[in-house]
Structure 1
């Protein structure tokens, strides 16, 4: 049996993995959903100052404090950046990294460094208007992503503003991510092809690409299919 450490994307807490975690536990696995600092139950007045380096520490701490081995470390969306860094930090405790339609870390670059000038101006404007937070999406932003009305209502009601510093702080890699055994899950309703950065890493013999015909939030839209992909790699 495997230890799954599941890290949610922007605005979400460990609760986002509830349906997937239930399936994995029923199969006999141990599951550790992570709520990153500054989000969900860890959201507080100083949350805007939480950087993604703290999020790396959050993930490593879950692995080390529970003395986990044979770890599948999965990150969705934004959290692929701290997950990729944490995976290199935990050494032989790692079984596999799984990026769930996520960003991946590039040494010295942040989440927003690859954005267009217009995109950066937009998000920086949001941070300025909200006191250093990246505001959650509205219900209409989840349209056409294979989500039920109930799932959208749940996501919107439980999302919290995301710490702005975490999306502008650069990543620091202690080992190239291409050396780590990795599965990249591409959700096809959020774009048919992986990003240029992901495509480059997929040249590594350690990486594999799998596709899921759903939207960007498969833990809500297709939890059983996602759980099967998480358990699939050897």
Structure 2
């Protein structure tokens, strides 16, 4: 199964993926959206600095949660980063390179 992990930009959130997620799911894909800490969701650790490393950890947690589904025959993980979201996507992909089939840049620098 193809698993799409969708990461929104800094001034949006997972809600922007509703339509996209519905279409991908209708085509048989699994879709996960990432809520980046401090951007619509409070830090799990109760405070402190939130930075790119925090956001990379947010994406890694989702990758790690779907690794089994993507390991099935024909399965792959596709990371999609919108705007700022491409930065944690690239950081996470670097750390899980063997797990990621593709990276999609969406309206990003």
Question: What TM-score results when the alignment is normalised by the length of structure 2?
Answer: 0.83
| Structure 2 Cα separation of the partners of residues 102 and 43 of structure 1 | 25
Matches within 5 A, 1:195-214: none
Q: Check conservation: 2:9, 2:83, Cα contact below 8 A.
A: yes
| Structure 1 Cα separation of the partners of residues 60 and 42 of structure 2 | 20
Question: What TM-score results when the alignment is normalised by the length of structure 1?
Answer: 0.41
Deviations 1:131-159 (A, max 9, x none): xxxxxxxxxxxxxxxxxxxxxxxxxxxxx
Kindly report the root-mean-square deviation, in angstroms, between the aligned alpha carbons of the 2 structures.
1.8
* More strand as a share of residues: 2
Q: Structure 2: 5+ residue runs without aligned partners?
A: 71-75
* SS in structure 2 at match of 1:37: coil
Number of equivalent positions: 101
Q: Does 1:52 align with 2:52?
A: yes
Partner of 1:96: 102
Cα distance change of structure 1 residues 43 and 11 upon mapping to structure 2, 3 Å threshold: farther
Partner of 2:6: 6
Matches within 5 A, 1:1-234: 1-40=1-40, 42-43=41-42, 46=47, 49-67=49-67, 68-69=69-70, 70-103=76-109
| Structure 1 Cα separation of the partners of residues 29 and 17 of structure 2 | 14
* SS in structure 1 at match of 2:90: helix
Q: Which has the higher contact order (CA 8 A, sep 6+)?
A: 2
Q: Structure 1: 5+ residue runs without aligned partners?
A: 104-234
Query: Following superposition, which runs of at least 4 residues in structure 1 exceed 3 angstroms of deviation?
Result: 43-47
Higher-Rg structure is 1
| Structure 2 Cα separation of the partners of residues 102 and 46 of structure 1 | 29
